[in-house]
Amino acid sequence: MTGFMGSGKSAIGKRLSDHLKILFRDLDTMIEQGEQRPITEIFSDRGEAYFRKLEQCYFEKAVSESPLILALGGGALHQPEISEYLRNHATIVYLDVPLKTLFERLRKSKNRPLLHDENGKLLDDEQLLQRISRLLSERQPVYRRADVTVSVQPGWTREQTTNELIRQLESHASTAIPEDC
């Protein structure tokens, strides 16, 4: 499951996992637990490139536990190895959340290193909206290649989003071409 930070991947992934009785993993949580420190610290101490290497390593550990529902970090699908693996072995779900909703969800977030300035300070509202908009524009072309896209409507509850996702997954499964064709 992919989407921009604040899209609800972890919450919706967990709900879907409970519904389908399938193991759920959150890649960012796996990294934080494995490294015994928050992602913000990893970014500030070692940088984004190092974090992306960790992300690849933990991704490989996660997919060894299949079947599972995996919530990816917002930039994980931009890594060619992760993207290629998922295209060949998984159904990729994109939670498409409107910019305004993302902004409202993220404006007080302290644990999103890409939403801070070079000194680690949370961006002001105008800068934050610009940063979210820019990152979303950069990432959306990759997100839009997902097998299933749920266009989350403003005001939807987690239950409504999960129900729409289930409906779309059922529809996707009924139209999928068998692998042995």
Using one digit for the tens of pLDDT, what is the confidence trace for 106-147?
887 777 877 877 777 878 899 989 999 999 999 999 999 999
177 is a domain residue: no
24 is a domain residue: yes
176 is a domain residue: no
pLDDT digits over 155-165, tens only? Answer: 999 999 999 99
pLDDT of 177 strictly over 70:
no
How much is the pTM?
A: 0.86
pLDDT digits over 32-50, tens only? Answer: 999 999 988 998 899 889 9
Q: Which residue type is seen at 60?
A: E
180 is a domain residue: no
For 102, the token pair is 């993302």
77 is a domain residue: yes
What is the C-alpha to C-alpha distance for residues 142 and 32, in angstroms, rounded to an integer? 25
Mean pLDDT of the chain: 90
For 15, the token pair is 């709900």
Q: Which sign does the torsion angle of CA 77, 53, 60, 109 carry?
A: negative
Residue 121 has what DSSP assignment? P
86 is a domain residue: yes
What is the C-alpha to C-alpha distance for residues 60 and 81, in angstroms, rounded to an integer? 10
Determine the length of the chain. 181
- Count structural domains, the chain: 1
Cβ–Cβ < 8 Å for 34, 28: no
Interacting residues of 114 by C-beta distance below 8 A, sequence separation 6+: 5, 43, 48, 74, 75, 131, 135
For 145, the token pair is 């290649």
What is the C-alpha to C-alpha distance for residues 56 and 76, in angstroms, rounded to an integer? 8
CATH classification of the domain holding 149: 3.40.50.300
116 is a domain residue: yes
3 is a domain residue: no
The domain containing residue 144 runs over which residues? 9-170
Q: What is the pLDDT of residue 178?
A: 56
